[in-house]
Structure 1
């Protein structure tokens, strides 16, 4: 009798633990450098920190949702490494990348925000005279070709679009006065370079129909794509990736990083959030 009761208790405990695990699935949030995740970390409750391969992961509750947050470091390789570690050790149901970017779409100004609908590399392919031929990456294990543009999760994009119509973000002080950030959906391109050139910014628009450029998103997207994990990239503009980019990024990166983080929090708060 005791054996039967003990066996029933063990089975019940295992089942209960499985139910808890299934109902508290975590959402992964990544940013490249400290300022991009700083605001989020100030809002996380019940924090627990885990260090894996020198990467700090902070678990906790944000907007009533279980999250794990990490700083990837700048650049594609750093982003891919941290994304892989997060997927392996925390099995997030989705990954959200947050941070700043250069707005190459002429309608964008520092402080405006792009909800990524698709993400691509702008520096992968072949250099030929006077041009770069962009090519898709390839899964080295299946040998299948990845898409040139990695598509962000449609449900996450749909939620973000709804949120974008109502979220009150910090206003940006520009030469024309204080303005609320413009929020658009669009294409975000990634490369291991800080773009600070009128010509280069124009080329990204013409050749890749880019709206914003940064240094991590496509690497995160490729890892998530190959591991079949939903993802979205949210970027707030710190500059226009033009000849004045270094000056603008110094002036706007902090408020841009906060607004991107606040937008991510609104995504988590949305009823259909991951």
Structure 2
């Protein structure tokens, strides 16, 4: 089974509409829609914005539905000149840029308890997603995707995240989903279409290109589901 999590309805609503034999259940205020797409079992959820909602959703999905892999899809701000609006970032790993115990001598982003900074995504899942992106002819990069409970709209913050983590994109959920998957030994990957520049122009770009970028990500996921069953 493939688990797919988006923070907002616009990020997965097209996939929900594709579901056949759909069944829904609401747990902790989050609706999970289970069914098939291209004859593959899929469970979809809109988690809500931010790391706490994302973690609750991922943990519940794992315990209730036991997916083989979870993909976090949606939109993100670019942190590299090689990605612009409409392009796609795919995670080699994820990190949380707002995790900060540097005052205790830890490096930025250090996750106490699992004692790492960057959580590795599943390589096989990433490669299949990349193959799908190539087939669609969309520009992409793979690398670190950083998460934090902050909409990135400052060049100063953007520069700090790039300096500390070498990240290619920033958003608000993937790092938490990656951490939950890591501690549960579940494969995961984050795929994000670029909706804004994550600098002073971020808000304007975000609302203008949100739906367009989200649909680009959906197109990749749709192809991924189909190809994963071949």
SS in 1 for 2:193: strand
Q: Which residue of 1 aligns with 2:124?
A: 155
Aligned twin of 2:188: 231
* 1:127 Cα deviation from its structure 2 partner: 6.1
For residues 182-226 of structure 1, the C-alpha deviation after alignment (integer angstroms, 9 at most, x for no partner) is: 112121000000010112112222221010000000100000000
SS at match of 1:134: coil
Per the TM alignment, residue 32 of structure 1 is displaced from its structure 2 partner at its CA by 0.4
In structure 1, what is the equivalent of residue 43 of structure 2? 68
Q: Which residue of 1 aligns with 2:13?
A: 38
Partners in 1 of 2:112 and 2:179 — Cα distance?
10
Structure 1 residue matching 2:136: 3-state secondary structure: coil
Deviation at 1:272, TM superposition (A): 5.9
Whole-angstrom distance in 1 between the partners of 2:219 and 2:117: 30
Moved over 3 A (4+): none
SS in 2 for 1:95: strand
In structure 1, distance between residues paired with 2:107 and 2:120? 20
The answer as to whether partners of 2:122 and 2:188 remain within 8 angstroms in 1 is: yes
Tell me the distance in 1 between the aligned counterparts of 2:87 and 2:202: 15
User: Do structure 1's residue 164 and structure 2's residue 133 form an aligned pair?
Assistant: yes
The corresponding residue for 1:243 is: 200
CA distance in 2, matches of 1:47, 1:188: 31
Alignment partner, residue 222 of structure 2: 265
Q: 2:108 aligns with which of 134, 149, 168?
A: 134
Q: Does 1:90 align with 2:65?
A: yes
**TM-score (ref. length: structure 2):** 0.94
Cα gap change, 1:138/1:259 in structure 2, threshold over 3 Å: closer, same or farther?
A: same
CA–CA separation in structure 1 for the residues paired with 2:109 and 2:171: 18
1:271: Cα distance to partner? 4.2
Query: Is residue 40–residue 229 contact of structure 2 (8 Å, CA) maintained in 1?
Result: no
Aligned to 2:24: 49
Larger radius of gyration: 1
Matched, 1:218 2:175: yes
Q: Does 1:81 align with 2:56?
A: yes
Gaps of 5+ in 2: none
> Aligned partners of 2:21, 2:229: CA distance in 1, in Å?
23
Deviation for aligned residue 1:43: 1.3
8 Å Cα contact 1:126/1:133 also seen in 2: yes
Deviation at 1:63, TM superposition (A): 2.2
Matched residue, 1:5: none
